[in-house]
Structure 1
Amino acid sequence: MLTDAQFNDVRATVLDNNPGMAPDMATRIVVEVLKFVVAASLFPTVRIAPTREVDEGWHALILHTHLYATLCSRLGRTVHHYPERPDESRHDPDVLTRTVALIEQAGYSPDAELGPGPERSLVSVAASCSHTPVPGGCGPIRPGQCATHGGDE
């Protein structure tokens, strides 16, 4: 999906934002975010969310705006990111299971170690937003009535 140079640029952003992270972990995170963005583009009406680790890669990818826009164009739709502050009242216990299932349906094998769930993390990352949709369609893929992201498109 990306050239080696593009991939390495995004990986470098993950590393820059997370001092001390092992380079191989940053590689795994970028690979996983690409799988997530593909799944999100293929299934735009299903509420899915990345883990915090994968979200860190998504943040890094989005910072490369031209690259991200080009990738989304090739995928047929822009996958918007609607960050939300963590809030237990919005927690959807099935969101990660749905996300993994759709990544698999898109033809990829998710990295199981980067999807352990919201209560624990494999690595510490800088990302502090959460993507736990409330009933009615709020979240990173299908924004709705969440005041925290300010979007209604």
Structure 2
Amino acid sequence: MSLALQHSVKTRQGRDLVPQDLFRRLVDFCADEYGLEHSVADRIMDQGLAFLWTMGTTHTEGTLAPSKEVDPAWHTFMLHSVEYAEWCRTNFGRFLHHKPNSKVRSRGLMVSVVEHIERAGFQVDKRLWQTAAACNEPACCGDGPCC
């Protein structure tokens, strides 16, 4: 009888994809802009960065979409345009444009997004991936029902 060794594989976190000082600035901005507790903004930014990395490395920017809860992370990072543009260029060789389309977002899409992020090796906070993003006030996406 042989024993197989079990290795614990540590999942990645989105927060590790940017310098710590930038992550803190993004969390602070997200919390302030969206009226969130810092602990919630921290989780949102972590998941948003994991989402962006997954989308950028798998070339699925036309297919994947953030949840309503995670979409503010993308908005926050894009508003830090110098850092966002450089991060995209360095990591993907291109700019990840935010082209929201609430008409194609569904619960099934959120399941698919979570699966993509998990396959990329990231820890997923499934509480933030329950609904699709249609529009997030105060920064409306431009195509959601509130616009």
Residue 53 of structure 2 aligns to a residue in which SS? helix
Q: Is the Cα–Cα contact under 8 Å of residues 83 and 129 in structure 1 kept in the other structure?
A: yes
CA RMSD in angstroms, aligned pairs only: 2.5
The Cα shift of 1:126 comes to: 3.9
More helix by share: 2
Q: How does 1:122-133 map to 2 (within 5 A)?
A: 126-129=138-141
Q: How does 1:28-39 map to 2 (within 5 A)?
A: 28-39=43-54
Alignment correspondent of 2:128: 114
Name which of 51, 55, 58 aligns with 1:43.
58
Q: How does 1:4-153 map to 2 (within 5 A)?
A: 4-19=20-35, 21-45=36-60, 47-76=63-92, 77-84=94-101, 86-87=102-103, 90-118=104-132, 126-129=138-141
Residue 70 of structure 2 aligns to a residue in which SS? helix
The Cα shift of 1:47 comes to: 0.8
| Higher deviation after alignment, 27-36 or 3-12 | 3-12
Q: 1:118 and 1:2 mapped to 2: Cα distance?
A: 25
Write the letter of the residue equivalent to 1:129.
C
- Taking only the aligned residue pairs, the percentage that are identical comes to 27
**TM-score between the two structures when normalised by the length of structure 2:** 0.73
Q: Is the Cα–Cα contact under 8 Å of residues 65 and 100 in structure 2 kept in the other structure?
A: no
Structure with higher RCO (Cα < 8 A, 6+ apart): 1
Q: Deviations over 1:85-138 (max 9, x none)?
A: x44xx444421111111111111121111011249xxxx864543899xxxxxx
Q: Which has the larger radius of gyration?
A: 2
The Cα shift of 1:6 comes to: 0.5
Change (3 A) 1:109 1:127: farther
